[in-house]
Amino acid sequence: MAKKSRQAGAARAPEARRDLSAGPPSTPLGRARWLLEVGDVRRARQAAAAAAESGPEPERAEARALLDRLRPDRNSILTVAVVLLLILFAAWAAILRVR
């Protein structure tokens, strides 16, 4: 996964890159973007939620869009649940077959 992040960072224009060692920006939306670049999705989601509640309307709209992008994928969660159920069923069937 780190490889993917490096590739995404390399695809950006040099002027779009930020110096991550400078620390987080002062605005909640800027902090959410910075945390996302650093890789802390959970805290980025929290900062984006704070930005969506306060600040100017354009920033709030952008923060809501960022929150939508950071939302867990329902199809992935459903797929994982189905696979886990199949594994449980197969284990249960194997246990009953042994007896």
pTM check: above 0.75: no
Whole-angstrom distance, CA of residue 23 vs CA of residue 52: 21
Tokens of 82: 């189905």
Residue 1 is predicted with a pLDDT of 43
Identify whether the C-beta of residue 32 lies closer than 8 Å to the C-beta of residue 44. Answer: yes
Q: pLDDT (tens digit, 0 to 9) for every residue of the chain, 99 residues total?
A: 444 444 444 444 433 455 555 666 778 889 999 998 998 889 999 999 998 898 788 888 999 999 998 888 899 999 999 999 999 999 999 999 865
Residue 89 is predicted with a pLDDT of 96
Length of the chain: 99
Whole-angstrom distance, CA of residue 42 vs CA of residue 65: 16
Residue 23 is predicted with a pLDDT of 63
32 by Cβ neighbours in 10 Å (0-12 / 13-18 / 19+) ranks as buried
